[in-house]
Amino acid sequence: MPEVVIQAAGVRKNYLSGDRTLEVLQGVDFSVAAGETVSIRGESGSGKSTLLNILAGLDRPDSGELFWGGEAAHKLSLGELTGRRGRFLGMVFQSYYLIPEIDALANVLMSARILGGVGATERARAAALLQRVGLGERGHHLPTHLSGGERQRVAVARALMNRPKLILADEPTGNLDERTGDEVISLLLEVCAEEKTALVLVTHNPSHAKRTSRQLLLQSGRFV
């Protein structure tokens, strides 16, 4: 049996809107095996980003359990979550979130720097990742000198820097044209397969969703 990389059980999340309580997630059960690729689709407001934030430990569920590689992440303090997150998972966002004042190589190295240090091994890893995503000659370019697709490629390399077991990608093609978006999805799937990294892809694009090994639909806070 493949290792279960991440598991959510009975996850619920509510938000107050005036005098109303919005049930965003209603007892979600979810798991991903090592090396598996899973897509999550759903209309705006269905709870996709909320679920991804909970899986990443960026938000807390109101109830339910979350396990990272068998460890009860829902019982960890915020400090413990932060320390473990950088080693356990990487994230790719719609808006890239690159630091504009530093070059592409330094942006990739930020993942390692957050964990405590950057040496020759880390620099070689970052350079190899940039080469793999097609930016080997652009490591010293600032993000403002890169196209949207190139910035997202840097973000993919950064997410893989610490050899995580899982990548969470939240609408990674949302700011890209169709052709560039297709290229980024192909890259994500290829490098995750090469690195043996599981992938959870939140997307509104049916054709992108169909390229993952498992497709899920979230409606009104539940998988259907």
pLDDT in tens, 111-165: 999 888 899 999 999 999 999 999 999 999 999 999 999 999 999 999 999 999 9
Domain locations in the chain as residue ranges: 4-223
Q: Using alpha carbons, select from 55, 74, 137, 69 the residue that is nearest to residue 104.
A: 137
Q: What is the pLDDT of residue 18?
A: 83
Tokens of 211: 């390229």
User: For residue 98, what pLDDT band results from cuts at 50, 70 and 90?
Assistant: very high
Q: How many residues does the chain have?
A: 224
pLDDT at 1 over 80: no
The confidence score (pLDDT) of residue 45 equals 84
The CATH code for residues 4-223 is 3.40.50.300
Q: What is d(CA 201, CA 204) in angstroms, rounded to the nearest whole number?
A: 10
pLDDT band at 22 (very low <50, low <70, confident <90, very high): confident
**Residue at 158: amino acid letter:** R
| Tokens linked to 145 | 């000198």
pLDDT surpasses 90 at 16: no
| Strand residue runs (E) in 34-151 | 37-41, 63-68, 71-72, 89-93
